[in-house]
């Protein structure tokens, strides 16, 4: 931190006494394992477009601490929205990304037409990869509900396959510039079941 008088100043700018700073932080190039629990402002996340309208730090609910990231959606079938964080040029090779996700029941879809959430990443050459399409409501012999509660989802950026995982040819996990969350309607969805106007939440985004 540099404190200086103006070039056009005079001795009237002289000061003998303390100056204070607080919360000196940055997010552009986080160290591996950085924990985004959203307890400290400013937040580095932002809407990446699609059906995600905006994001904000919220005290509505949290896994740990008092805050999470609230993602305001107008999800319209067939639709998807993105929330993202620019991480500079970060080596995530071999890493597993973890995040806690909360979906209100109204934004879940149903057992046969569930909305879903995926973790994604872009490398420094703009090549894309994403993890599983994690169904908010799933049917495995019986209906399994993840809505209205915190639910941890994970993605090993190098080794996970199937379940909607995708990796663009040449994707380089050792040079990642952006990570984020994609929420989308299913391929067999309908407007009546899958449209949703309201918030989703994430917390404790780690690797």
- CA–CA separation, 54 vs 49, rounded Å? 8
Whether the per-residue pLDDT at 37 is higher than 90: the answer is no
More confidently predicted of 174 and 6: 174
pLDDT band at 165 (very low <50, low <70, confident <90, very high): very high
Closest among 73, 60, 69, 19 to 41, alpha carbons compared:
69
Q: What angle do CA 192, 194, 196 make, to 5 degrees?
A: 100
More confident residue, 167 or 141: 167
Section 162-170 average pLDDT = 97
Distance of CA 110 to the CA centre of its chain: 23
* Whether the predicted pLDDT of 75 surpasses 90: yes
Q: In whole numbers, what is the pLDDT of the chain averaged over residues?
A: 91
Strand partners, 137: 145
List strand residue ranges (DSSP E) for the chain, in order. 45-50, 52-58, 68-75, 80-90, 96-102, 116-123, 128-130, 134-135, 137-139, 143-145, 150-156, 166-167, 176-184, 196-206
Which has the closest alpha carbon to 172: 192, 157, 194?
A: 157
Sheet-wide strand order for 52-58:
52-58, 68-75, 196-206, 96-102, 150-156
pTM for the full model?
Answer: 0.83
């Amino acid at each position: 931190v540099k404190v200086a008088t103006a070039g056009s100043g005079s001795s009237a700018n002289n000061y003998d006494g303390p100056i204070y700073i607080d919360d000196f932080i940055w997010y552009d190039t986080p160290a591996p394992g950085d924990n985004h629990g959203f307890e400290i402002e400013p937040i580095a996340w932002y809407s990446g477009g699609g059906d995600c309208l905006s994001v904000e730090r919220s005290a509505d609910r949290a896994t740990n601490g008092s805050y999470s990231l609230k993602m305001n959606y107008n999800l319209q079938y067939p639709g998807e929205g993105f929330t993202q964080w620019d991480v500079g040029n970060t080596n995530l090779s071999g890493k597993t990304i973890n995040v806690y996700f909360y979906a209100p029941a109204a934004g879940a879809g149903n057992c046969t037409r569930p909305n879903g959430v995926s973790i994604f990443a872009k490398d420094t050459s703009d090549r894309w990869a994403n993890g599983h399409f994690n169904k908010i409501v799933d049917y495995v012999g019986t209906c399994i509900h993840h809505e209205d509660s915190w639910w941890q989802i994970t993605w090993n950026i190098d080794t996970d396959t199937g379940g909607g995982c995708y990796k663009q040819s040449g994707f380089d996990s050792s040079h990642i510039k952006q990570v984020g969350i994609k929420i989308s309607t299913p391929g067999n969805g309908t407007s009546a079941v899958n449209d949703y106007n309201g918030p989703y939440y994430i917390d404790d985004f780690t690797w």
